[in-house]
């Protein structure tokens, strides 16, 4: 039987909040990153927020990833489902251990792909998501949903890894699943730019204000 201790034994980093009332961030690195990779990005995007950053649990040529792929752009969907479910369990265990609200995912590349999978397979696990250079995780279209989760998706117009048609299909999947999608396509490639950071930071700030306002009693 898998225990909470077993689940939290997964390599990860946690930084407690320094500013009350900010949404915790779930940081999901790209291929070859680890649990430290996006910490500085998280601090820059949401200063003072709690940060939860797990390491991907599979290796590809020695590089950590969140799930296996069969080839470039072709995902092992059975493994993706398994790893997505494991990540949902990790989030639940970490929330209980640290007293966290539902986090907002910030994922880059492979990390953005598993964040998209979380949104589609486990509505409600995330309070929101910032998807940087994400691809459509599943070949089949999702069933319509009603989660109304806010999602920011930023794609690169000249991205050699994520074809425009694939990114467009992911946007359709997210909206079909019930997500409230904000979409930006920047004149850049797969790497992140200052424009990504500016847009993501503003979106996170606005999302936090909206959450605070919606919980205020009048």
Catalytic residues: 109, 159, 190
Q: Which residue has the tokens 């890894």?
A: 161
Instruction: Name the residue among 101, 114, 105, 102 with its Cα closest to residue 69.
Output: 114
Beta strand 51-54 with 12-15: parallel, antiparallel or unpaired?
antiparallel
CA-CA distances (angstroms) from residue 125 to 111, 158, 161? 16, 32, 28
- How far is it, in rounded angstroms, from Cα 56 to Cα 44? 22
DSSP state of 162: S
Angstrom distance (rounded) from CA 133 to CA 149: 19
Closest CA to 53 of 30, 34, 79: 34
List, in order, residues 6 or more apart from 47 with CB less than 8 Å away: 19
User: Which token pair is 102?
Assistant: 């539902």
């Amino acid at each position: 039987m898998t225990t909470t201790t077993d689940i939290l034994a997964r390599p990860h980093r946690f930084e407690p909040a320094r500013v009350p009332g900010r949404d915790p961030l779930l940081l999901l690195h790209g291929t070859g990153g680890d649990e430290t990779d996006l910490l500085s990005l998280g601090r820059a995007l949401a200063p003072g927020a709690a940060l939860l950053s797990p390491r991907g649990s599979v290796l590809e040529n020695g590089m950590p990833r969140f799930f296996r792929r069969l080839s470039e752009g072709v995902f092992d969907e059975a493994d993706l489902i398994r790893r997505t479910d494991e990540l949902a369990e990790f989030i639940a265990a970490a929330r209980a251990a640290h007293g966290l609200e539902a986090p907002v995912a910030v994922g880059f590349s492979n990390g953005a792909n598993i964040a998209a999978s979380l949104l589609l397979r486990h509505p409600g696990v995330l309070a929101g998501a910032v998807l940087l250079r994400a691809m459509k995780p599943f070949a089949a279209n999702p069933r319509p949903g009603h989660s109304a989760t806010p999602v920011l998706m930023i794609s690169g117009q000249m991205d050699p890894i994520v074809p425009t048609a694939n990114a467009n299909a992911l946007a359709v999947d997210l909206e079909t699943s019930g997500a409230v999608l904000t979409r930006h396509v920047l004149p850049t490639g797969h790497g992140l730019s200052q424009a990504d950071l500016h847009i993501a930071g503003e979106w996170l700030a606005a999302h936090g204000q909206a959450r605070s306002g919606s919980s205020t009693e009048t």
